[in-house]
Structure 1
Amino acid sequence: MTKQTRCSWLDTSKPDYVAYHDNEWGVPVYDDKKLFEFLTLESAQAGLSWYTILKKRNGYKNAFADFDVRKVAAFTEQDIERLMLDAGIVRNRLKIAATVNNAKCFIKIQQEFGSFSNYQWQFVGNKPQVSNLNSADNAPAITPTSSAFAKDLKKRGFKFLGPTTVYAHMQACGMVNDHSNNCFRKEEVMRLGARG
């Protein structure tokens, strides 16, 4: 069996990281619960490595009510205090409070657009953008689209979601396919395409 070529940024010595790359990263996501999960994890990642957050993913799932946006939106100051003692997540008060705040903002968008997915995908014309990267290391950190998306989120009250974090979110949930051209997942993800 030949060894599959993967994006050069991936540390292939970490099986959980490889599984994330091979099964999730760049796959178009239209499910609001999953989008809220990715937004929560990306905002938690700000200033940290993605692998740090990936290792704590189950901790976040437990801490934030299995990413049930309505339950998280109802969290109180007491819940924030409780989560400050939770070793399963990054114990940063501003980030924890931002997640509760963002859940409330997320629900408002659902009410306005019918789903967060409808809102989010409009920024790329409802179709995944495919990058032409000879190495995923050459992927941009910010794009005009991520800047516009982040600006709109900020206007709607979201926190810890600047243009770099938003671009990472776009990559994670398939708004952009930033697998490098030689990565075996590039074509597979392209075939998944837009919502049909």
Structure 2
Amino acid sequence: MDQNMEKERCGWCGTDPLYVKYHDEEWGCEVTDDHKMFEFLVLESSQAGLSWSTILKKRENYREAFADFDALKVSRFTSEDVERLMQNSGIIRNRLKITSTISNARYFLEVQKEFGSFCNYLKSFLPEGKIIINHWKTLDQLPASTDLSDTISKDMKKRGFKFFGTTICYAHLQAVGYVNDHLDSCFYKNNSSSTSV
């Protein structure tokens, strides 16, 4: 049997190899790089109303469509780029999500200028700037949103960000490891070698 499959992990990832790899190597791993942070921002906002597995399967298409998740390049996309993306069957062809990704890139750059990095901005909301490590026993204990995600999403909305409500915000915090919601029984929880990307 594959040693990878013998590990005890959070049940939401099931047995789909793509999902398992994402769980084992990325979800809950502290992101310290703004380029990676912007990638998750694009993917999470694209997910709104859809399953995360749908977005994960289209991840490489998004990478190609949105300039390898280069926020500066995406911020310069034009209406012609929007029309081009609307013809791209490899991504979610939702005009509002596409135009919001472009405008979000501009706001992302503004936040970078103000805080030095987007990572710094998000951490400014965390208690003492430190990641939150929760201790859940079962998946049904995981919240869909919290006061923290409410606060951040409201602030981002004021700054102009779209498709980043409190539920998407909380999913983003989990994904980038600013809230570690791996179950206590999950092998990842105490895997000190997987701390940041």
Query: Do they superpose with TM above 0.5?
Result: yes
- How many residues get paired? 193
Provide Cα deviations, 1:57-110, integer angstroms capped at 9, x if missing partner: 000000000000000000001101100010111100000000001000000001
* 1:19 aligned residue: 21
1:144 to 127, 142, 147: 147
| Structure 2 match to 1:29 | 31
User: In the TM superposition, what are the counterparts of 1:163-182 in structure 2 within 5 Å?
Assistant: 163-182=166-185
**3-state SS, counterpart of residue 152 of structure 2:** helix
Q: Distance in 1 between matches of 2:125 and 2:194?
A: 21
Gaps of 5+ in 1: none
The superposition leaves residues 2-30 of structure 1 with CA deviations (integer Å, 9 ceiling, x where unpaired) of 92111011121x11110000000000001
Counterpart Cα distance in 1 of 2:141 and 2:158? 30
Indicate the SS of the match to 2:6. Answer: coil
1:108 corresponds in structure 2 to: 110
User: 1: CA distance between counterparts of 2:140 and 2:65?
Assistant: 33
DSSP-derived class of the 2:32 partner = coil
Kept in 2: contact 1:136–1:179 (CA 8 A): no
Percent identical pairs in the alignment equals 53
CA contact (8 A) 2:9 2:188 kept: yes
Compared CA separation, residues 191 and 35, structure 1 to 2 (3 A): closer
Amino acid aligned to 1:44: S
Specify every segment of 5 or more residues in structure 2 that has no aligned partner in the other structure, as ranges.
none
1:88 matched to 2:90: yes
SS at match of 1:159: coil
Q: Alignment partner for residue 60 of structure 1, among 62, 86, 97?
A: 62
TM-score (norm 2): 0.94
Runs of 4 or more off by more than 2 Å in structure 1?
189-193
Give me the TM-score of the superposition, normalised by structure 1: 0.94
1:130-189 deviations in Å (ceiling 9; x for gaps): 111101332100000000000000000000000000000000000011001101011116
Pairwise CA RMSD: 1.6
User: What is the one-letter code of the residue matched to 1:172?
Assistant: A
SS in 1 for 2:7: coil
